Amino acid sequence: MPFTDKKLHSDLNAYKRKLSANTFEGNKLSENMKILAIDDQQLVLMPLAKRLKDIGYNVFTSSNPEEALLLYATFKPDLLIVDINMPKTSGIEVIKQIKSNYNEPKPIMVLSGNTDKNLIVQAFELGVRDFMKKPLSLDEVSARVKSLIGLPEQPQKLVEEREVILQHRCVGVVIPCYNEEKRLKSAEFLKFLHQNTGYHVCFVNDGSTDGTLEVLQNLRKGRENYISIYNCEQNGGKAEAVRQGLTYMASFEDLDYVGFLDADLSTDFADFDDLVKTIETSGFQIVNGSRISRMGANISKESARKLISKVINFLISSILGMSFRDTQCGAKIMRKELVPIAFQQKFLTKWLFDVEIFMRMRQHFGKEEAQKIICEQPLKRWVHEDGSKLSYSDSLKIGFQLIKIYWNYRLKPFFTQTSFSKSFSWARVMEVRDEVPLN
């Protein structure tokens, strides 16, 4: 829409009044150069803006292209940084608007995960001065910015010396927590989040009776943009905590993928990041971490538990009718669109909800398609942390839960389809038993 439009002029004047009343948290603008950054994902904008502000630039951000055009008209930035792949209005359209409404537009830099050659050529034909492909280092972005518009006159602070990668995807991670006050590895969570942009962690406090909630609140303080807490008043078990957390995170518009990890980090963030890399570079819709012993992997299990795991896993594969080496390691990543399919309904079991996730995928997509979209990826490290083990009596309970899953997801629907009610006979029961396939 051209800037001569009356509505846009009205919006612009209102926007100026709003900003003059409270200019970015009440701080007066310095004479330093101004940068406008546009990206539909806040998890990308936040680290970028922080780094450029630390260098000394005045930085304005927007995840809404229409608002961004108002910002451009208001502050006349010295540099525009824009993403191409925005859902409502593409970055190319934003560039076209600015080019058509200003005789001498300022330099434009594109940051995008899109590597389409035609798109890159189109961007340069529109006058873009630099095109940088995500993922990339914030150090490199900073150097390119300095090259385009020079150093600010009034540096604000020393930039922290650490490698930070600006990602082209955003991931939500749910961490179910029950009485984790003394076990939660807060330092490891913070280290990962500081070094890896594009992640939002949601801790689900599952009705803890110790000081877990207070620990989580302290962890979140000052980091509200990328750490959330979902508090459950009553303990509902891990399955319900994960379900509630993922349902909550599915409402975050800027997330591409969601997943979950155990609070004790028996699967660490390095392995989880590998799962993310697999799903974003493939056609898989779910990537499941697997504790398969192999050369170079640190997989720690007791021999007795290892035998029990093998037996349980054989039963699980038979019930699913799909071959899995391991479904229960507690590290999974999936496309956000799968959340309504896998997590809308409560799970039948407390410990085997992972099996129910795959069963629901099979029911929704069919067996063959489900096998195509689920990937099982070996982990490099997995250990039983102290206090995290299931007892042997729990292993027996798992057997009964598997029966419950088999009945509700395989046998019950089969009986319903065959109109089993009025023509009931034990002979028919035996016939149906033989007809129900295990794979």
Longest dimension (CA), the chain: 89
Q: Which tens digits make up the pLDDT trace of 2-31? A: 344 444 445 555 545 545 444 444 344 446
pLDDT at 438: 53
**CA quadruple 175, 179, 181, 183: dihedral positive or negative?**
negative
pLDDT at position 162 over 90: no
Q: Which pLDDT value is given to residue 22? A: 42
pLDDT confidence bin for 67, thresholds 50/70/90: very high
pLDDT-based confidence at residue 350 (cuts at 50, 70, 90): confident
pLDDT band at 435, cuts 50/70/90? low
Going along the chain from its start, the domains and CATH numbers come out as 6-149 (3.40.50.2300), 169-404 (3.90.550.10)
Tokens for 15? Answer: 């926007």
Q: How far is CA 32 from CA 25, 58, 174, in A?
A: 17, 6, 40
pTM for the complete prediction? 0.78
Which CA distances in Å does 386 have to 6, 154, 180, 182, 383? 66, 51, 12, 11, 9
- Give me the pLDDT at residue 315, please: 84
Token representation of residue 85: 């792949």
CA atoms of 279 and 329, how far apart (whole Å): 18
Q: Which residue has the tokens 């603008």?
A: 29
The per-residue pLDDT for 58 is: 94
